[in-house]
Amino acid sequence: MPQLRVTARFYVILVGQFILVRMKEMKIRHLLLILTVLFSNAILGQYDIKVVVDGLTCKDELKLASYRGARQYYEQSSVCENGVFRIKGDESLKTGNYIILLPNNNFFDFLVSSNEDQTQYSFKLDTNLYLDEMIVSGSRENELFFDFRSFEAIQKSKIQQENRIVESSKDTLKRQLSLNKISELEKSIEENRKETIAKVGNLFVGKFLNAHRQVPMIEAPENMSGENARIFKYNWIRNHYFDNIDLKEDGLLRTPIYQKEVSRYFDKYLPRNVDSSINVVNEFMTRLKNEGSKAQYQFCLSFLINRFQTSKRMCFDKIAWHLAKNYYCAGKAAIDETRRLQACEFADIQSNTLCGQRAHDMNMLDTSFVNRVRLHDIDKACTILVFWDIDCSHCKMELPIIQSIFDTLNQDELEIYAVYINGDFVRWREQLRKTGYTFTNVADVNADSDFREVYKVVSTPKLYVLDRDKNIVFKDISVTDIPSILNYMIGQENKED
């Protein structure tokens, strides 16, 4: 058998490449360092979460779910070996707040960090899910997280006890003592939260807990009062609302708190005027672009478009139009060309029915099938444009109300222009004869109107309020608001005079 020579060359395969190394030139510590790095990278590219639950057997199944905004998404199911549930995958999980679902709709949430070895995560608990009895290992993030959650749970249990005394006791002094204890307990939770945040450095758990802290409103300077003080405080909170939220931490997108706080901000601090609100939205998006991450910018842009497109605040769909046109369509967001063109098309369609726009004209036949009535020829302070259908159940309820209101109002300054949107014109005319509606009723009998492309009516009834110049002033109103709207419109004309 030939002898091995000490000076012989050998090959070490590193990342698919052959590297020729002389043993006498290779220092052992360098080799160990390379192997350690390679091994660590392989491990950090996986996750293997171990869960032991007293009271469950391998016949049961656990499921992993993640947050994306306020919604939860299934990620993976467990396998069970010797009473240990393992949830694993070949690619590491992104930083965020995750949930492990147990049978009978029980669950617990925990944190994941892309900076930790996710193959070491381990949780031991029972089906009661007592946080102070849970054993956590393999994750500094979760050790700190569950320490805080355990303390919080104990304090909240004490708060519940004191609340029961407040609700049931008739002794004023006893109730006040309980209220004082509740205040102290709540303060202790916040102090513990602050202490945890202070000691964790740059760990995700600190950013997550900090995001739950509301920025307290400051008082206006002593020399301010009334409206000036209110404006000062309003502007201050708008500038500082997100001080406790790390706008560069993408892990917060995979928690429910981020979307909740963005929603709360726009619920509480948007002005009533839609154009002023657009300015506030622009300021927020500019701050994200300059100070935040690309992922947060993309998330908020999509979220705000969807939110304002279905806003309950009248005319606030204009914000969705503005964002689609001036961000997506203008190329200020990283989307593919197909989606960009879709955003442009959406903005073009929306622009026809925005408050402040002049309503697209229509010139349709009435029930005579001979006479046409042009929308823009109506010369009244207020025109209610109604799109409806004879088979629409809501229309059957609301159009009689419109008629009864119309009968009681000043018809010299009010017109109802009702457009039947479908094609059964014989039934339409017959139904109008039965109902006796006296306001203007028209339909596209000759199929020569483009109203369907312009107004894109997807549900009925759809109402728009137009001024004398046929500008859209309000839309999606309640029919019972027509009298007050008419008074408002007449009042606006009188002010202009």
Instruction: Provide the mean pLDDT of the chain.
Output: 90
- pLDDT category at 35 given cuts 50, 70, 90 is very low
What span, in angstroms and rounded, lies between the C-alpha atoms of 144 and 328?
A: 40
Rounded mean pLDDT, 122-144: 93
What span, in angstroms and rounded, lies between the C-alpha atoms of 250 and 346?
A: 28
User: Which structure tokens are listed for 17?
Assistant: 């490449």
**Residue 447 above 90 pLDDT?**
yes
Cβ atoms of residues 52 and 136 within 8 Å: no
**What is the reported pLDDT for 10?**
33
Total length of the chain? 497
What span, in angstroms and rounded, lies between the C-alpha atoms of 159 and 182?
A: 5
**What is the reported pLDDT for 29?**
53
pLDDT digit string, tens, across residues 56-85: 999 999 999 999 988 999 999 999 999 999
| Span of 91-105, 323-337, 386-400 with lowest mean pLDDT | 323-337
DSSP-derived secondary structure for 238-282: HHHTTTTS-TT-GGGGGSHHHHHHHHHHHHHH--SSHHHHHHHHH
Q: Which of 271, 250, 218 is nearest to 114 (CA)?
A: 250
**Residue 6 above 90 pLDDT?**
no
What span, in angstroms and rounded, lies between the C-alpha atoms of 19 and 36?
A: 17
Question: What share of the chain in percent tops pLDDT 70?
Answer: 91
- Ramachandran angles phi, psi of 436, nearest 5°: 70, 30
**What is the reported pLDDT for 104?**
87
Cβ atoms of residues 84 and 41 within 8 Å: no
Encoded amino acid at 414, one letter: L
Rounded mean pLDDT, 17-42: 44
What span, in angstroms and rounded, lies between the C-alpha atoms of 200 and 193?
A: 11
Q: Which of 458, 467, 476, 463 is nearest to 496 (CA)?
A: 467
| Helices (H), ranges, 324-450 | 337-350, 393-408, 425-435
Rounded mean pLDDT, 22-44: 47
pLDDT digit string, tens, across residues 174-213: 999 999 999 999 999 999 999 999 999 899 999 999 999 9
Please report, for residues 168, 383, 448, the alpha-carbon distance to residue 471 in angstroms, rounded to integers and kept in the order given: 58, 10, 23
What span, in angstroms and rounded, lies between the C-alpha atoms of 123 and 54?
A: 11
Query: From the centroid of its chain, how far is CA 286?
Result: 18
**Residue 9 above 90 pLDDT?**
no
Using DSSP's 3-state secondary structure scheme, residue 137 falls into strand
**What is the reported pLDDT for 43?**
47
**What is the reported pLDDT for 84?**
97
**What is the reported pLDDT for 439?**
97
User: Which structure tokens are listed for 441?
Assistant: 């009723």
Cβ atoms of residues 56 and 102 within 8 Å: yes
**What is the reported pLDDT for 263?**
96
**Residue 390 above 70 pLDDT?**
yes
Question: What share of the chain in percent tops pLDDT 90?
Answer: 82
Task: Please enumerate in sequence order all residues whose Cβ is within 8 A of that of 138, keeping only pairs 6 or more positions apart, or say none.
Answer: 117, 120, 121, 122
In the beta sheet, which residues pair with residue 126? 54
pLDDT digit string, tens, across residues 420-441: 999 999 999 999 999 999 999 9
**What is the reported pLDDT for 335?**
85
- pLDDT category at 30 given cuts 50, 70, 90 is low
**Residue 39 above 60 pLDDT?**
no
Whether the full predicted model's pTM is greater than 0.95, yes or no, is: no
